[in-house]
Amino acid sequence: MTSHTPAHPTSPRLLAANLVNAVLLEGVSLTASLANLRASHSTHSANDSRDIAAAQNLAYGVLREAGRLRFFLARLTQRPLQPIELTGHLLVGLHELDAELSPAYAAVNETVSVAARRYPFARAFVNAVLRNFQRQRETLVKAVQQNPEALWNFPNWWLRRLQAEYPSDWQQIVGQLNTHPPMILRVNLRQTSRADFCAQLTNARIEYRLPENDPGAAAVILTTPIPVSELPGFAAGLVSVQDLGAQWAAPMLDIHAGMRVLDACAAPGGKTGHLLECAALDVLALDSDANRLRRVRENLERLGLTELPAANIRLLAADAGKPALWWDEMPFDRILLDAPCTASGVVRRHPDGKWLKRAEDMQHLADEQSRLLEALWPLLKSGGKMLYATCSLFQAENSEQISAFLARHADARIEPVNFTSQSKAELISTRMMPTTLIPTEDMDGFFYARLLKT
């Protein structure tokens, strides 16, 4: 099944319907679908760019609320859609009506018009579904309370796992993961201070605040997200966009100038850049995807990190789990293993992940995490440290993975982490690892375990 995209964008609703169908019907990630959409319209006008941006917002909204919207659709149709591609059109229309994004008459009329361009025979059907939603809305909204997937906008298997693993916090977690994510910046402290960059934000009338718990002392949270092109000094490398939870990695790795460091799954390079902003290192950044590795280089070049004095940076497309193909047999002082995972902690940024992942994916990912841990541990020198990181909340990928690893390796132990502010004035976090960062207003969900090789 292939979603049809016209040669020229004509309506955000049409483009959004295509994006939703790509995710829910074809299993294509929203990131990939958006990249394909932008590439296919790269030579068009500013109006096209605005249409694509509007379509992206609609698609994100639908996918955040897909449990609720699909519940409505099933109640309103009670039979399989023919053709199935009407799914995207109807979900976009229901989202507009349910969220009251535009006047109801406009949402109905435009959804019907857009769908009828491709499927003229479905005009009356689409109109009837949306009109029936308006008439039955109160009853349908009440019925949502009896359907967990519709109520919480998460797959049932996901909810059951969160409830079992976080019995006191699961509702808070789900609530946070259904919100719009904050836009968080990481100031490049090699080029400027956080105070000086914040002064530039103030001069540009961009509102911001500083997080309370920031071990790197480089994070800034924008009150309202803006395009990166509007950020002072972005092109010159003064700042990057990176979630606060991800910014914990570089301080946790406990790096010092001159260390030999492996970033084993480096793309797109946010953590690689942060490491080099903190210290002049001998870094080998690996990724199995050569295309994604190019983004690492682009990010490092923008940040002015590729020509650092006393630093050595190598980028290599390779499977980190097969070191015989790339390792020079010189041990590393530090290894960052940002392991592939379900990304269950970052679904407010990637809401398609809720519907693309399956319960059975967990074992495959856990096997891959174990393979990488086993392959990389011999590359670490005695006294060296490995930081195991995921953006997952599921313990099969986190504490259970690390517990099993420790049981297999007598020369490994968990090392506690003490974080202090740069001024040394205050201890802001003292935690025994492994550490799970539960999603909050300020950060996504992450897991970290710092392993010391004895």
What does the pLDDT look like over 313-348, one tens digit per residue? Answer: 999 999 999 999 999 999 999 999 999 999 999 999
**CATH code of 260's domain:** 3.40.50.150
* 17 SS3 class: helix
CA dist 202 and 46 (Å) reads 28
Q: Which strand (E) or helix (H) includes residue 332?
A: strand 332-338
Q: Are 115 and 89 in contact (CB under 8 A)?
A: yes
361 and 410 housed in the same domain: yes
pLDDT at site 38: 87
* Residue 4 domain flag: no
Q: Using only C-alpha atoms, what is the Rg of the chain? A: 24
pLDDT range class, residue 43, cuts 50, 70, 90: low
How much is the pLDDT for 10? 66
Handedness of CA 297, 303, 304, 306 (dihedral sign): negative
Residues 220 and 308 in one domain: no
219 and 269, same structural domain? no
Model confidence pLDDT, tens digit, residues 160-198:
999 999 999 999 999 999 999 999 999 999 999 999 999
Q: How many helices (H) and strands (E) does the chain have?
A: 17, 14
Establish if 262 belongs to a structural domain. Answer: yes
- What value does the mean pLDDT take over residues 107-136? 96
In sequence order, what E strands does 116-271 have?
Answer: 183-187, 208-209, 219-222, 239-241, 260-263
- Tokens 């090699």 correspond to 190
Mean pLDDT of 92-118: 96
Residue 419 has pLDDT above 80, yes or no: no
Q: Which residue has the tokens 């590439």?
A: 39
pLDDT value of residue 416: 81
Domain assignment of residue 216, given as a range: 183-241
Q: Where residue 428 falls among pLDDT bands split at 50, 70, 90?
A: very low
Task: Give CA–CA dist 62/76, Å, rounded.
Answer: 17
In the chain, how many domains are there? 3
Mark whether 23 and 89 lie in a shared domain: yes
Question: pLDDT, tens digit, for every residue of 281-314?
Answer: 999 999 999 999 999 999 999 999 998 888 899 9
| pLDDT exceeds cutoff 50 at 386 | yes
219 shares its domain with 251: no
- Measured on CA atoms in the order 402, 407, 410, 416, is the torsion positive or negative? positive
**C-alpha closest to that of 154 among 443, 446, 442, 439:** 439
Closest CA to 265 of 319, 325, 313, 344: 319
Angle between helix 66-77 and 86-99 (nearest 10): 110
Cα dist from 184 to 73, 75, 94, 172, whole Å: 35, 39, 31, 21
> Residue 49 corresponds to which tokens in the numbers above?
């760019």
Q: Is the model's pLDDT at 9 over the cut of 60?
A: no
Same domain? For 211 and 274 the reply is no
Confidence at residue 160, expressed as pLDDT on a 0 to 100 scale: 97
- As a whole number, mean pLDDT of residues 412-424 equals 64
Buried residues in 397-412 as b, exposed as e (16+ CB within 10 A): bbbebbeebeeeeeeb
pLDDT at residue number 44: 60
| Residues 129-154, mean pLDDT to the nearest whole number | 98
Same domain, 91 and 147: yes
Structure tokens at 381: 């020198």
CATH of the domain at 234: 3.30.70.1170
Confidence grade of residue 18 (pLDDT, cut at 50, 70, 90) = very high
Average pLDDT, the chain: 92
* Residue 421 pLDDT greater than 50, yes or no: no
Is pLDDT above 50 for 265? Answer: yes
Question: Do 237 and 139 reside in the same domain of the chain?
Answer: no
Tell me, yes or no, whether 98 and 208 share the same domain: no
Q: Does 337 lie in the same domain as 382?
A: yes
CATH code at position 117: 1.10.940.10
- Whether the pLDDT of residue 432 is over 80: the answer is no
Residue 424 has pLDDT above 70, yes or no: no
264 with 343, same domain: the answer is yes
Asked if 391 is an active-site residue, the reply is yes
Quick check: is 40 in a domain?
yes
Q: Catalytic residue, from 198, 278, 341, 391: name it.
A: 391
Given 131, 152, 173, which residue is the final one in a domain?
152
Q: How far apart are the first and last CA of the chain?
A: 53
Q: How far is residue 141's CA from residue 136's CA, in Å, rounded to a whole number? A: 9
Q: Is residue 301 part of a domain?
A: yes
Q: Is residue 57 part of a domain?
A: yes
Contact of 263 with 333, CB cutoff 8 Å: no
Q: How far apart are CA 177 and CA 154, in angstroms?
A: 10
**Residue 253 and residue 400 in one domain:** yes
Percent of the chain with pLDDT over 90: 87
- Whether 218 shows a pLDDT value over 80: the answer reads yes
